Structure 1
């Protein structure tokens, strides 16, 4: 019996199911559950009310999402399934969208009172950080290989890796936050992993800015970083997905928790903790790369793109769940990367009807045109190396599943969002560090 069926049975008066829900899903103590067994009216009423909040009923009238770009029928069906709840109030998919776990990558969905564990995904608070330095490209051009070697020596890439130089950070002293998230047991591992990058499409890149009238050698170097909350976020997402009665997979309904349930409050605390942890990790990596370069920071742009925020939608508060979406309110800046061989950009949101329809969201990357297994079948290493060499990009790690040929071209994707964003800076990559081909990460959303 799945969660929705269990709640339905409990609401219909099945005492055994109600007791099981109270004990396992509603986080009741055994003493409280004992009251249910004795038939105490107040306890039953409270349990039924809590059970109602565990599952949002299906909609009687569908919500039409805003769709930017071309998408497969399965991707659009996945988004429609996320919107098939009475608590949903809006949704959209950006031009870089594709299938994800339960909710499409590039998809944004708003719920009035529910938070989507599966919508945020397994890599809670995955995001991008761009740091502009005071160093011109001329100062690093002749030592790119040495810089990449040191980046790979001092920063750990791959699944399950730990930082060779454990990091002290104030987040580890906030025991109240760890308790609220039910994450005390993860504290030791999280401490060891802070500042590691992970696998899949997670990276540390170096760029020079493309500036009209300025030669590349005179343009500033930027650092680009993409990863999330590592093992901490994955374990928290898995735990709350199971507690909420959800299932892992592509073709599954969203796992929704009511904001006022014990599980919902616990998950929101877990998401916030993972978000702080992801920011701390990306900050540490940026500081390390600045040290390797011998440069100083002059500007930064930092965003999550697997997260949920409490925002106003249609004149009332809602939980806006962005999976692979960059928040882009008017004037808010975001860093969006292409593939390892393409330009990236710093953009900002602009006001207008399109921005409102997209729930103030935009792309987080170029978006895949094929799956990882298919990319390894379709492309070869010589082709990928030639692509990178032709653009002057030095690569450490990476594999064919991250080949530039497996991605859309970012300028074409951004052009489809021209009514809601403005490009501020164009960044051209010259060095890329990623996990190697021997590393497999099943949760790259």
Structure 2
């Protein structure tokens, strides 16, 4: 029996495994699928009737214990105060979502970055500190979505746009379900981690994750060649211009499956969750389910960075150039962090870690510059900054209001060659990266500027 059926019946957390075991035993005794589901539904509705013994006794006891231990989900009457950077750039819907997040009983602090826009549950650009609890949709669907920059010992003029285009087509893959053949894959230690064997969900996803290692998804994911301009010795480099590779990628189907599964588990363990906070269901880190999500989330984060490792290894290897410097950061993850002298779980959903001295990357759009930044550790922002420019037009709105001719003209004017991409990712769909940076001068210092030259994205709905 598929565990998805059990989740739909309301079995969550460790109870799913017990329900699955009991279902197998009943199926082996001759009952068909429908009859087993009917019995399980009765156990879920009245577990006290099955405590006396039999195949469902252990399951019934676990259901009853889980139900008695459910946390209260009552929201605060008003949101806790939180810092907002660039309020004039942020749509009302994102502010409303952040207000709801700041009313959760587990919330202790928060901040909203200038690239913020509406997301699922927590807005993109939202930073939320909770006490002993993690919110799957506070991390996001693409767990571990991240950036990486490799600076190469190559004069940018030595690589023609045509050759850069060929390299990207040969060594990168984009799109849902896309992967590499076995004989094309590179090894990576993340695939040998024992965490894959911790839980059935991860075991079932390991094979597909191995196939997709070193690939990128759709939407705003990209790999690009460009010129990095360095004016100081902050990166340990001589001032000048360098050829660089910049990528934005995540944890592929692995992260999405983990997010979806554990959100359902979280919803099943909370009583009377306010509909406004439905996508903010949380898991206590003192529960088995919370610990299982934490391990899966961190594995997905490491897997996402491994995708970048492979992408950059393929491209730099093809150029026979060892990177001089690499910078990377995740911007869809939760961290254990000291906040006001207390350990908190800090969720950054579309926000860059910006502890004092830490390097990070804030990208623009397909035709706008990206920036290497150094964090200033602002405690009011929970040591965070924006993770990009942030959308000012939704995908459908961009496709309706922008023209392909305008996009082609913008790309030509800025000297950018685009492979794939669509109107939903046009520069005009994003806020100006310079405006976003100007609103967070107390969060980060700019260290270097990257100008894109050849960009590859998924084909999107409309090829340009």
Matching residue within 172, 176, 186 for 1:159: 176
Does the CA-based 8 Å contact 1:305-1:324 persist in structure 2?
yes
The alpha-carbon deviation at position 180 of structure 1 amounts to 4.3
Distance of 2:356 and 2:177 partners within structure 1: 38
CA distance in 2, matches of 1:399, 1:250: 33
Match of 1:37 in 2: 51
**Structure 2 counterpart SS, 1:77:** helix
1:95-138 deviations in Å (ceiling 9; x for gaps) = 00000111100011110111010111110000101111111112
- Rounded to whole Å, the distance in 2 between the matches of 1:45 and 1:287 is 48
Indicate if the aligned counterparts of 1:207 and 1:430 stay in contact, CA closer than 8 A: yes
Name the SS of the counterpart of 1:387 in structure 2: helix
1:321 is aligned, of 342, 347, 357, to 347
After TM superposition, the runs of 4+ consecutive aligned structure 1 residues lying more than 6 A away are: 30-36, 43-46
Residue 163 of structure 2 is matched in structure 1 by: 146
1:24 alignment partner, SS class: coil
Shift of 1:155: 1.4
Residue number in structure 2 paired with 1:424: 447
Q: Would you say 1:96 and 2:124 are equivalent positions?
A: no
Q: 1:405 is matched with which residue: 416, 424, 428?
A: 428
Give 1:25 shift. Answer: 4.1
> Which residue of the partner structure matches residue 330 of structure 2?
304
- Answering whether residue 188 of structure 2 is matched by residue 185 of structure 1, we say no
Deviations 1:230-256 (A, max 9, x none): 011111111111222279x99844021
Q: Secondary structure at the match of 1:186?
A: helix
CA distance in 1, matches of 2:435, 2:249: 24
For residues 317 and 144 of structure 1, do their structure 2 counterparts lie closer, same or farther at Cα, with a shift above 3 Å needed? same
- Structure 1 contact 130–223 (Cα < 8 Å) conserved: yes
- Do the aligned partners of 1:180 and 1:269 also contact (CA within 8 Å) in 2? no
Matched, 1:337 2:363: yes
Is the Cα contact below 8 Å between 1:137 and 1:218 reproduced in 2?
Answer: no
Residues of 1 paired with 2:361 and 2:228: CA distance? 13
Structural RMSD (CA) = 2.9
Matched residue count: 409
Give secondary structure in 2 for the equivalent of 1:238.
helix
How far does the alpha carbon of each residue in 1:17-37 deviate from its partner, in whole angstroms, 9 at most, with x for none? xxx97x534537469978983
Q: Deviations over 1:293-314 (max 9, x none)?
A: 3322011111110000000112
Select which of 145, 153, 173 maps to 1:126.
Answer: 145
Counterpart position of 2:316: 290
Is it true that 1:228 corresponds to 2:250 in the alignment? yes
TM-score between the two structures when normalised by the length of structure 2: 0.82
CA deviations 1:362-399 (Å, max 9, x no partner) are 01100111100100111111111111111111111111
Could you tell me which of 177, 192, 206 is aligned with 1:173? Answer: 192
User: How much has 1:174 moved relative to structure 2?
Assistant: 2.0
Aligned to 1:385: 408
Does the Cα contact within 8 Å between 1:167 and 1:191 map onto a contact in 2? no
1:110 and 2:129 aligned: yes
- The verdict on how the C-alpha distance between 1:251 and 1:113 changes in structure 2, with shifts beyond 3 A counting, is closer
CA distance in 2 between counterparts of 1:344 and 1:438 reads 25
**CA distance in structure 1 between the partners assigned to 2:135 and 2:426 by the alignment:** 31
State the match for 1:394 in structure 2.
417
If the length of structure 1 is used for normalisation, what is the TM-score? 0.85
Q: What runs of 5+ residues in structure 1 fail to find an aligned partner?
A: 1-19, 441-445
Query: Where does residue 288 of structure 2 map in the other structure?
Result: 262
Kindly tell me: are residues 310 and 35 of structure 1, through their superposed partners in 2, closer, same or farther at Cα, counting changes over 3 Å?
Answer: farther
Q: Which 5+ residue runs of structure 2 have no aligned equivalent?
A: 1-8, 23-42, 233-238
Q: Is the 8 A contact 1:114 1:256 kept in 2?
A: yes
Alpha-carbon shift at residue 350 of structure 1 (Å): 1.2
Residue among 136, 141, 146 paired with 2:155 = 136
Are 2:377 and 1:363 aligned?
no
Deviation at residue 289 of structure 1 after TM alignment: 1.3
Q: What SS class does the counterpart of residue 291 from structure 2 fall into? A: helix
Q: Deviations over 1:44-83 (max 9, x none)?
A: 7996577545454422553022111122221111111112
State the alpha-carbon separation in 2 of the partners of residues 343 and 219 from structure 1: 14
Q: Residue 24 of structure 1: which of 12, 21, 41 is its match?
A: 12
